[in-house]
Amino acid sequence: CLRYAVLIGDALQQILASSIRPAPLLTATPVRTLVDEQACIKASFLPSNHPVTVCARMRSDEGDLWQSFAHYNTNSRGTFDLNSDLSVGGSYSGCEPMGLFWSMQPAPGERDGLRLRKKCVESPYTVHISLLEGHVSPNQEPVKELAAVTAERWYMAPGVKRQEIRQNGLVGTLFIPPGPGPFPAMLDMWGMGGGLPEYRSSLFASRGYASFCLAYVGHKDLPGPPNTINVRDSYFQAAFQFLQDHSHIAADKVGIVGLSYGCYLTFHTATLAGVKPACLIGINGPVGSSREILRVNSLLSLKHILCILQILMKPLVLMQLEEITCPLMYIVGEDDLSVLSIENADLIEETLRAAGKSHLFTRLSYPGAGHLIEPPYSPMSRATFIFFSCSVMTVWGGHPAPHAAAQEDAWKKMLEFMELNLRR
């Protein structure tokens, strides 16, 4: 009887404890952040040593569903914290405070070959983060949701001004930070995917740098067919001059940044007459012109196509790197399957050394990172479709965890490089 009384007492105690325990709570602090900032995600008021799943879901601007999930075990206090605790499975493993964001992938059933790119920087990504019972997949049915929170991820800080530029033949978008200025500035160019991606420029402006995102291929307001580059050197000279002449920009504090083919244009523009940038940043780009790749329709990676073109065509036209007179940062993803980034970095370094300009060169190299090194906590896409007159499946390379680490580190060092060369 005594033993039964003890058992009944324990059961009553557990019932009483569960009845007074607050409902499970999931928090994301701060709820509203820029996309290059960390959020602290925690859960509390759960049973001790209990399996749970955290799931993140959001819609892209095109309406596609992206998601990630991770398995955690609560501690003896019934809590867990993504800043200090380990994921034991799911979209990523280990201690990854921002893993829910950088590990996102299209949900099952979505279109193939997607790449997450913000189309409208004046609105946030709204991320629904939920806490689920047990170690489960978010696609299982039924799944018990214990708690949830919504986080906003912004590309524009309050007060940043966005202005579409369509003047003197230029096609682009200018972002100006809040305040009177004059501001240091960046001319921002993307790759052969074309169009006018604004999200890096809007983030630069959110960090105090005016930024002019320039279209040069694949935009309806540019001349000629959309799948070829139909602008000349004078176009890029005019874009740089536009920044120098702007009343809110410091004329002697203008840099240039480019990814992929935009990297080639970054270095080439720096050698043009009348263009004197304060610094250059190139990300996984060639140092020779290869516009013919714009018309390739192949499942091969662009890296392999480039090798074939180098064999079958006349040699690529190499720019005069030795003419560069400002600090230059070149960022390498060592698993880049689109461009010969390691070899290009070697060539830049050798050329500047021969010209007595080694002191101008900074090289960042990241094992496991692919071609598309973007702002931090952006999901990695190893292969995506790009569209010209036809669709092309392009292999970018990269592995999620090291690629995410590269994006975080490279962004920090890019901003430090800009601070050193554009503000002092």
| pLDDT (0 to 100) of residue 145 | 93
Confidence (pLDDT) at 313: 38
> Apex CA 123: angle with CA 145 and CA 83, to 5°?
50
pTM to 2 decimals? Answer: 0.89
Tens digit of pLDDT for each residue in 378-411?
Answer: 999 998 877 654 567 788 999 999 999 999 999 9
* Per-residue pLDDT reduced to its tens digit, 316-373: 456 789 999 999 999 999 999 989 999 999 999 999 999 999 999 999 999 999 999 9
In 200-353, DSSP assigns E strands to 210-214, 249-259, 280-283, 328-333
Higher pLDDT pick, 21 / 44: 44
Q: Which residue has the higher pLDDT, 391 or 376?
A: 376
Known catalytic residue at 399: no
Tell me what the pLDDT averaged over the chain comes to.
89
Mean pLDDT of 2-25: 64
> What does the pLDDT read at residue 7?
52
Query: What percent of the chain has pLDDT above 70?
Result: 87
pLDDT at site 345: 95
Q: Do 346 and 389 form a contact (C-beta atoms < 8 A)?
A: no
Q: Looking at this protein, which amino acid is placed at residue 363?
A: R
Taking phi first (over 0 means left), then psi (-120 to 50 degrees means alpha), and beta for anything else, what does residue 214 get? Answer: beta
Name the token pair of 112. 């193939």
Q: What is the band of 227 on the pLDDT scale with cuts at 50, 70, 90?
A: confident
The pLDDT of residue 6 is above 70: no
Q: Give 149's pLDDT tier (boundaries 50, 70, 90).
A: very high
Burial class of residue 75 in the structure, from the number of CB atoms within 10 Å of its CB (0-12 exposed, 13-18 middle, 19+ buried) = middle
Which one of 336, 338, 381, 403 is the catalytic residue? 336
12 pLDDT band (50/70/90 cuts)? Answer: low
Burial classification of residue 393, based on how many CB atoms lie within 10 Å of its CB (0-12 exposed, 13-18 middle, 19 or more buried): middle
- Give the architecture-level CATH label for domain 25-154: Sandwich (2.60)
With a CB cutoff of 8 Å and minimum separation 6, the contacts of 322 are 351, 352, 354, 355, 357
pLDDT digits (tens, 9 = 90+) for 232-251: 999 999 999 999 999 999 99
pLDDT, tens only, 297-323: 334 555 545 544 443 334 445 678 999
Taking CA atoms, 375 is separated from 20, 22, 200, 330, 379, in Å, by 44, 38, 7, 16, 10
Give residue 380's Cα distance to chain centre: 8
Q: Encoding tokens for residue 226?
A: 């959309």
pLDDT at 393: 78
Quote the percentage of the chain above a pLDDT of 90.
77
By three-state DSSP, how is residue 311 classified?
A: helix
Look up 336 and say whether it is catalytic: yes
Within the chain, which residue ranges are assigned CATH 2.60.40.2240? 25-154
Q: From the candidates 71, 268, 371, 403, which is the catalytic residue?
A: 371
Model pLDDT, residue 193 = 83
- Assign domain 161-422 to its CATH superfamily: Alpha/Beta hydrolase fold, catalytic domain (3.40.50.1820)
Catalytic residue among 260, 301, 338, 381: 260
What is the average pLDDT across 30-43?
A: 97
List, for residues 169-185, the tens digit of each pLDDT value: 999 999 999 999 899 99
pLDDT in tens, 93-118: 999 999 999 999 999 999 988 999 99
pLDDT, tens digit (0-9, with 9 covering 90-100), for 205-217: 999 999 999 999 9
Residue 259 has pLDDT above 90, yes or no: yes
